[in-house]
Amino acid sequence: MLAAVIFDFDGVIVDSEPLHYRAFQKVLEPLGLGYGWELYVAEYLGFDDRDAFREAFKSKRRLLSDSELERLIGLKAEAFLEIIGSGVVPYPGVIELIREISGALPLAICSGALRSDIVPILRQFGLEGLFDVIVTADDVTASKPDPACYRLTVEKLADRFPHGGIAPERCLVIEDTPGGIAAARAASLAVIGVTNSYPAGRLTGTLRIVTSLEELSLHDLHLLR
């Protein structure tokens, strides 16, 4: 029986990766560390901000201190908030699916984004308060494909619903990247892949692959488990 549903955020709820890319470039280009969108998709998609900045510096053989890393993360967060201020658009079907699940099953977000990136967008979409647990890059030290974020999400859901029978094998994740799928599978979670960011052939290890969350309902999720 399905006990809980966990959504990734970027690339599943909102098409925010181009916005994150723009924010990164606003910070990196003055440092001579900018790069193209194709490289971002190939190498950086799925990283949290810490690992993205580390990789950008590593690729140019530049040293990055912890204090400078924190400063850059802060600048990028400011740039991202400025960019989303003009409004963002959810993926088709996702608002309806979240509202259908909320209140019927425990519901969570597990994302490599910062909480400060996520909450304003949830507020724009009218989804604030519908998620029982939100785990972000603020809560773990390693980004996906490390499974720590998904393990922590299940732990928090189990603490929130101690009589809900929540265990990894009874949770279902919705993901859009190979790294996210690998993280969820390493945490013993089943996954639905959505082809918002990668073609179906890259989303291996899933129970089902959809081209849009418009194809899913709460009933469909129960049948998969």
For residue 86, the model assigns a pLDDT of: 83
Q: Average pLDDT in the 121-137 region?
A: 96
The amino acid at residue 196 is N
**What confidence category does residue 204 fall into, taking pLDDT thresholds of 50, 70 and 90?**
very high
Strand partners, 102: 105
**Distance between CA 87 and CA 47 in Å, rounded?**
23
Q: What domains does the chain contain, in order, with CATH numbers? A: 4-15+88-224 (3.40.50.1000), 17-84 (1.10.150.240)
Asked whether residue 35 carries a pLDDT value surpassing 80, the answer given is yes
Beta-carbon count within 10 A of 219 CB: 8
Q: Which pLDDT belongs to residue 168? A: 97
Mean of the pLDDT values across residues 95-103? Answer: 97
Q: Is the pLDDT of residue 33 over 90?
A: yes
- Exposure on the CB side of residue 203, measured as CA atoms within 13 A: 23
Q: Is the pLDDT of residue 190 over 90?
A: yes
8 A C-beta contact, residue 100 and residue 213: no
What is the rounded CA–CA span in Å between residue 192 and residue 215?
11
pLDDT mean over 127-155: 96
Coil, strand, or helix at residue 139? coil
- Condensed to tens digits (0 to 9), the pLDDT of residues 108-128 reads 999 999 999 999 999 999 999
What are 41-74's pLDDT values in tens digits? 989 987 899 999 999 999 999 999 999 999 999 9
pLDDT at 164 over 80: yes
Look at residue 207 and tell me whether its pLDDT is greater than 90: yes
pLDDT at 51: 93
